[in-house]
């Protein structure tokens, strides 16, 4: 049944969107549907003839395939036991595009916390520059389709945004209300537009605009892949954001409170929550991002309005990982360690964590009834969400 559903999904995707019509590259293109989980792209990948494995597409990722230990064990691949473990994969296939003899690492077991804290029920690792170095990759967020094609495909109707690679990450310069900033593009970041604390504090952007709400995200510290902690961000309205042909007015941006483990090459990040508004082609060979407005361009910015972070428990239960002291969830009586059993009367067991987060970001229906267990006893509370900022072009 699952195989039949997957085949039907592929047929419907092919009927709805033709690579030949969209790019003009015909049989040279290969297209595969992807999942958009918490604004991150999860693409099916076959490795050494096995799979598919659920891999996060990370445009700013490492130059090796990164596998979680469970996936490496399933593949029975040999790797050096020192450090994170290094080896070679004979074949990696994405949308019928074959990549041969790729280096990989097996990530430390501690990175299983990344899967759990981010609520990924199916997640096997990361794929990044290995694909982008060899192909132009078209991302259609609205249709959830990934097309892999030769670098020289036509880009009819699309506008080029030149970038340069900084330690493997595509970097662009932009302005926020006229203040110049250096951004890197990251499909593996769930945020929209984020400015790092040293930058926005140096330019006093918090004084220019009052903060309308506080959001919460959970981050991973990079050294040793050790699970990090909660990071608060302040959402502010800005009059304009521009980076080449990308230009938005009356939008919003997140002022991150994080101060550690920041890349000094950049002032902020353009994440999946922003990129999903566009139909785009990532072309590393020509250091160009080809863009045009997508079907989701006018979608409003969505931010968590609850002030709590949910994660997966050991048995797949939805656990409150952290509650902001002054947040909406705290006012409703929730605490860290509570197990969510229902959202607005619907059983949480049947909801992905990302779906619950979407509900907690939907301020058009600001009152959310949450049923939960605390020390085995059932309780409920009503969370009144903080409304997001309106957005227009």
Provide mean pLDDT across the span 330-344. 95
Residues 99 and 23 in one domain: yes
180 in the same domain as 287: yes
What would the pLDDT profile of 232-260 be if each residue is shown by its tens digit?
A: 778 888 889 999 888 888 888 888 888 77
Q: Which domain holds residue 174?
A: 159-293
Which of 293, 319, 350 terminates a domain? The answer is: 293
CATH no. for residue 14?
Answer: 2.40.70.10
Q: Do 26 and 110 lie in a common domain?
A: yes
Does any domain span residue 154?
no
Q: Into how many domains does the chain fold?
A: 3
pLDDT for 378 beyond 50: yes
Across 68-82, 199-213, 214-228, 337-351, least confident range: 214-228
On whether both 318 and 375 belong to a single domain, the answer is: yes
pLDDT range class, residue 218, cuts 50, 70, 90:
very low
Domain presence at residue 82: yes
143 shares a domain with 6: yes
Same structural domain for residues 111 and 189?
A: no
User: Does pLDDT of 13 surpass 60?
Assistant: no
Residue 71, Cβ density class (10 Å: 0-12 exposed, 13-18 middle, ≥19 buried): buried
Q: Distance from first CA to last CA of the chain, Å, rounded?
A: 44
Q: Among positive and negative, which fits the CA dihedral 306, 307, 308, 309?
A: positive
Q: Which residues pair with 390 in a beta bridge?
A: none
> Is position 389 within any domain?
no
- What is the per-residue pLDDT across 137-190, written as a single tens digit (0 to 9) for each? 999 999 999 999 887 666 788 999 999 999 889 999 999 999 999 999 999 888
Residues 16 and 141 in one domain: yes
Q: Say which CATH number the domain at 319 has.
A: 2.30.42.10
Final residue belonging to a domain, choices 105, 124, 149: 149
Q: Residue 213's pLDDT is what?
A: 55
For residues 24 and 53, state if they share a domain. yes
pLDDT on residue 391: 35
Q: What is the mean pLDDT of the chain?
A: 82
| CA contacts within 13 A on the Cβ side of 123 | 26
C-alpha distances (whole Å) from 180 to each of 5, 175, 233 are 48, 4, 20
Strands 136-140 and 145-149: antiparallel
Residue 298 lies in a domain: no
Q: How confident is the model at residue 1, as a pLDDT?
A: 34
Final residue belonging to a domain, choices 99, 124, 149: 149
Whether 363 has a pLDDT exceeding 60, the answer reads yes
């Amino acid at each position: 049944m699952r195989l039949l559903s997957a085949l039907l999904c592929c047929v419907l995707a092919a009927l709805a969107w033709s690579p030949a019509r969209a790019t003009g590259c015909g049989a040279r293109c290969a297209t595969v549907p992807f999942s958009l989980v918490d604004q991150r792209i999860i693409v099916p990948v076959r490795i050494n003839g096995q799979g598919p494995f659920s891999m996060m597409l990370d445009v700013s990722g490492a130059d090796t395939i990164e596998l979680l230990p469970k996936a490496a064990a399933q593949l029975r691949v040999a790797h050096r036991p020192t450090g994170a473990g290094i080896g070679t994969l004979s074949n990696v296939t994405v949308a019928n595009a074959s990549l041969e003899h790729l280096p990989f690492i097996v990530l430390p077991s501690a990175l299983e916390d990344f899967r759990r804290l981010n609520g990924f029920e199916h997640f096997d690792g990361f794929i990044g520059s290995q694909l982008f170095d060899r192909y132009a990759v078209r991302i259609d967020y609205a249709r959830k389709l990934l097309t892999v094609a030769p670098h020289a495909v036509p880009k009819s109707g699309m506008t080029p945004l030149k970038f340069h690679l900084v330690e493997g990450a595509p970097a662009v310069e932009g302005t926020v209300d006229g203040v110049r900033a250096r951004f890197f593009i990251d499909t593996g970041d769930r945020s929209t537009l984020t400015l790092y604390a040293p930058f926005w504090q140096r330019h006093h952007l918090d004084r220019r605009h009052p903060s309308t709400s506080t959001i919460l995200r959970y981050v991973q510290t990079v050294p040793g892949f050790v699970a990090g902690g909660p990071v608060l961000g302040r959402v502010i309205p800005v009059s304009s954001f521009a980076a080449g042909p990308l230009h938005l007015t009356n939008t919003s941006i997140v002022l991150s409170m994080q101060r550690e483990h920041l890349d000094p090459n950049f002032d902020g990040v353009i994440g999946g929550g922003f990129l999903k508004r566009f139909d785009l082609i990532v072309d590393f060979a020509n250091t160009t991002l080809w863009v045009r407005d997508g079907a989701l361009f006018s979608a409003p910015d969505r931010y968590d309005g609850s002030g709590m972070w949910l994660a997966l428990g050991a048995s797949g239960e939805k656990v409150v990982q952290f509650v902001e002291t002054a947040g909406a969830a705290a006012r409703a009586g929730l605490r860290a360690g509570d197990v969510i059993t229902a959202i607005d009367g619907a059983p949480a067991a049947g909801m992905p964590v990302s779906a619950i987060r979407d509900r907690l970001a939907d301020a058009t229906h600001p009152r959310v009834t949450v049923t939960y267990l605390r020390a085995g006893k059932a309780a409920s509370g009503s969370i009144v969400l903080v409304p997001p900022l309106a957005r227009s072009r």
